Amino acid sequence: MANGEKRDYYEVLGVHRNASETEIKKAFRKVAVQFHPDKNQGDKVSEEKFKEASEAYEVLSDPQKRAQYDQYGHAAVSGAGGFSGGGFGGFGAGTPFGDIFGDIFGDVFGGGAGRGRTQGRRGDDLLYNMEISFEEAAFGVEKKIEIPFAKRCATCNGSGSRPGTNPKVCPTCRGAGQVRYQQGFFSVSKTCAQCNGEGKVVEDPCPDCRGKGSTKDTKTLSVKIPGGVETGSRLKVTGEGGQGKGGPNGDLYVAISVKEHSIFQREDNNVICEIPISFIQASLGCELEVPTLDGKVSMKIPEGTQSGKIYRLKGKGIPSLQGYGRGDQLVVVRIETPTNLNKKQKELLEEFAKISGEDVHPMKKGFLDKVMDFIS
């Protein structure tokens, strides 16, 4: 499947971009059980969905691969997945799926020490839309941006309670952050609705932050944009998102939009530039100064060049996002037809046509002959 056709890995597993490792693992187990080839023998649709989910899990379960994917998308992990050949013989040792079914009922029974108590809530992710120039996208740039953030309230020191008072232990969950329900043999835990999993409730809110424990502010960040990004690229700045409540901060995602250039167009890592020349230059050949991202270069146009001819300038394109060299610049020649000729120029061209044995109006003559045949 081509990179442009791949679905977003988070969409494949049905999880948010800030999903924890446990959530990703649980989501994959659900999809894998549903579409496993052993359970759906001969079903090509299920097989493809299983391959897709397996590829997504291989990337998202690996912190390093996931970080690269979050920043650069499918292009950064194009080698992931290795499911194009061979069958599905089950998950053996040495694969990232070795224990995926072994603990399939682990979360249902709520086993494991310390799982009952809340571990805090992660902050929200933020999205910042940034527009940069063609050259900045090609070679990289460092930009300063202002983003909103929640600052710890100075009045209550983040407690959310009026100074001189403290939050109370939640009477519903008794500080656990979760409530447990017994359903037959099953014990199910859910986040406490009264305290939203925090284990405490504010009875007398702080007048400045109104019980939130934080106030709104802005801060300036310096963001490094690597060379080779394009429209649709998204960069991740870890920990610069919304403030967590007892958990880590969210992340900041910078979505890149590249302005159109007046001369250059991009095709993969190649740069396309159309150069107009006269028919005399095309006929006799010439030497031109051609603009590139690195400045002007001299290029020879051989005699007899036709309109649409493409010449390649090696290494004058866009640097690879992965750091492996640069693309090329493709120079497309466009021959301009002269206009507003004076009498002398027309005479010279007609003389040139006669010397070349060329009838200046062959199609016109043929058309008039057809008209006479039609009306006669």
Q: Is 23 helix (H, G, I), strand (E, B) or coil?
A: helix
Whether 117 and 256 map to the same domain: the answer is yes
Boundary of a domain, candidates 84, 104, 124: 104
Whether 244 and 118 map to the same domain: the answer is yes
Alpha helix segments (H runs only) across 194-271: none
Q: In the structure, what pLDDT confidence band is assigned to residue 138 with cuts at 50, 70 and 90?
A: very high
Structure tokens at 108: 């249902």
Closest CA relative to residue 120, chosen from 199, 235, 45, 15: 199
Domain that holds residue 118: 111-167+202-260
Whether 152 and 26 map to the same domain: the answer is no
Whether 27 and 69 map to the same domain: the answer is yes
What angle in degrees, to the nearest 10, is found between the helix axes of 44-60 and 21-35?
A: 160
pLDDT at 7 over 90: no
Q: What is the pLDDT of residues 172-190, one digit of tens each?
A: 888 888 888 766 556 677 8
pLDDT at 102 over 60: no
Whether 353 and 301 map to the same domain: the answer is no
Whether 228 and 157 map to the same domain: the answer is yes
User: What is the C-alpha separation between 331 and 312, in angstroms, rounded?
Assistant: 6
Q: Which residues contact 167 (CB under 8 A, 6 or more apart)?
A: 159, 160, 161, 200, 201, 202, 203
Whether 120 and 92 map to the same domain: the answer is no
Whether 79 and 163 map to the same domain: the answer is no
Instruction: Give this prediction's pTM.
Output: 0.55
Boundary of a domain, candidates 201, 218, 250: 201
Whether 126 and 241 map to the same domain: the answer is yes
- Work out how many domains the chain is built from and give that number: 5
Question: What would the mean pLDDT of 197-212 be, rounded to a whole number?
Answer: 85
Specify the CATH number for the domain of residue 16. Answer: 1.10.287.110
Boundary of a domain, candidates 104, 134, 154: 104
pLDDT of residue 104: 37
- Which of 93-97, 291-295, 342-346 has the weakest average pLDDT? 93-97
pLDDT of residue 362: 55
Specify the CATH number for the domain of residue 294. Answer: 2.60.260.20
pLDDT of residue 100: 45
Q: Using an 8 Å Cβ cutoff, are 57 and 77 in contact?
A: no
Closest CA relative to residue 279, chosen from 220, 339, 225: 339
Whether 11 and 86 map to the same domain: the answer is yes
User: What percent of the chain is modeled with pLDDT above 70?
Assistant: 79
pLDDT of residue 5: 63
Whether 98 and 212 map to the same domain: the answer is no
- Which of 139-148, 191-200, 297-306 has the weakest average pLDDT? 191-200
Q: Which residues contact 101 (CB under 8 A, 6 or more apart)?
A: 29, 32, 33, 91
Question: What would the mean pLDDT of 77-88 be, rounded to a whole number?
Answer: 42
Structure tokens at 156: 């209550």
Whether 80 and 36 map to the same domain: the answer is yes
Q: What is the pLDDT of residues 25-77, one digit of tens each?
A: 888 888 888 887 767 777 888 888 888 888 888 889 888 888 888 877 777 66
The identity of residue 90, as a single letter, is: G
